[in-house]
Amino acid sequence: MYTDIPIKNFDFSTFWQSLCEVVCNFDLFDAIEIFILTFIFFFTFRFLKARKSLTLFIGILLCLGLLAVSAHFEFKVLESILTGIASSGVIVILIIFQPEIREALDRVVNGSLTDIMSFGDRKKKRELYHNVIENVCAAVKELSAESTGALIVIERTTELSDIAQTGITINADCNALLLRNLFYNKAPLHDGAIVIIEGKIASAGCFLPLTRRSDIDPDLGTRHRAALGMSESSDAIIIVVSEETGNISVAHDFNLNRNITVEELHNYLTEKIIRTSGNN
């Protein structure tokens, strides 16, 4: 024999009235708040996804949801365990996400301070980086035609002195012939990266961090993985010439644009370094 279970009827009129009140009271400040929250959530999702931390973050959210469910249904033991975990959750999150938090703060703070400090020097920097772009593109064109592998890092606002210290100090003007010679396949420094800082070839033979992402093409070689890794930890622009095919790629802001032409590279560098970096 079945027992009728009373089901609470959904009051559509109350729901509609509440919805109308929300819509009628919606103003400009609500729209601004929604926009800011959307930006924060989007940036957080993208940041965590690129660093393979998204799964862990979702796990934390599920634990918080489970805590709410256990509190609602009065699962005392489960609630006490999850409450104890949540009480120290902030410290745990800071420890787990320490590298990601450090990278994000470094990109925001260091980038902003650099822009302020260089305000009066923009015309000089624009001319300097025009020369860098011309010489880099000229070298890349020849390296691509010869299928000579290359990895070039151009510093923007994130300081790269720690990366430059992993190689051999060059401290020379950016010159297309010098770039080609450094990447000559019998040269001792050809396997590493060249780091360009303040318009000069600071170091050669440098080691870059490899990407931690798992959603990339498995056919990508070490140079391309290093370029992606560098783009995840700085706002630098990294140029790659494939040793197998001679194809040109450029990495920036978690993305790798593959198989581009020298003209496209020139336009890209001009757009990212001169027009949108605060140097114009």
Domain boundaries, the chain: 12-113, 121-275
| Mean pLDDT (whole number) for 122-142 | 87
Q: Is residue 50 predicted with pLDDT exceeding 60?
A: no
207: phi then psi, degrees, rounded to nearest 5: -100, 130
Question: Of 82 and 196, which is predicted with more confidence?
Answer: 196
Spatial separation of the C-alpha atoms in residues 146 and 61, rounded to whole Å: 51
Spatial separation of the C-alpha atoms in residues 24 and 224, rounded to whole Å: 52
Q: Is residue 33 predicted with pLDDT exceeding 60?
A: yes
Question: Of 260 and 126, which is predicted with more confidence?
Answer: 260
Per-residue pLDDT, 280: 42
- 157 token code pair: 């606002």
Q: Which of 45, 224, 228 is nearest to 150 (CA)?
A: 224
Question: Of 124 and 162, which is predicted with more confidence?
Answer: 162
| Mean pLDDT (whole number) for 194-222 | 90
Q: Check: CB of residue 155 under 8 Å from CB of residue 237.
A: no
The CATH fold assigned to 121-275 is YojJ-like (1 (3.40.1700)
- 78 token code pair: 């489960």
Q: Is residue 4 predicted with pLDDT exceeding 50?
A: no
- 172 token code pair: 């020379």
Q: Check: CB of residue 48 under 8 Å from CB of residue 54.
A: yes
Mean pLDDT of the chain: 80
- Least confident among 6-20, 109-123, 169-183, 217-231: 109-123
Q: Check: CB of residue 272 under 8 Å from CB of residue 279.
A: no
* For the chain, percent of residues with pLDDT exceeding 70: 73
| Position 121 confidence tier, pLDDT thresholds 50, 70, 90 | low
Spatial separation of the C-alpha atoms in residues 114 and 156, rounded to whole Å: 9
Q: Is residue 265 predicted with pLDDT exceeding 80?
A: yes
Q: Is residue 126 predicted with pLDDT exceeding 90?
A: no
Spatial separation of the C-alpha atoms in residues 138 and 177, rounded to whole Å: 9
For residue 219, the 8-state DSSP code is: T
Spatial separation of the C-alpha atoms in residues 165 and 204, rounded to whole Å: 9
| Mean pLDDT (whole number) for 116-139 | 76
Per-residue pLDDT, 163: 93
- pLDDT digits 0-9 by tens, 211-258: 988 788 888 899 999 999 999 888 899 999 999 999 999 999 889 999
Residue keyed to tokens 């001679």: 246
Spatial separation of the C-alpha atoms in residues 139 and 79, rounded to whole Å: 63
Spatial separation of the C-alpha atoms in residues 112 and 59, rounded to whole Å: 33
- 231 token code pair: 């783009």
Per-residue pLDDT, 189: 86
Per-residue pLDDT, 101: 65
| Position 53 confidence tier, pLDDT thresholds 50, 70, 90 | low
Question: Of 111 and 193, which is predicted with more confidence?
Answer: 193
Question: Of 252 and 280, which is predicted with more confidence?
Answer: 252
Q: Is residue 152 predicted with pLDDT exceeding 70?
A: yes
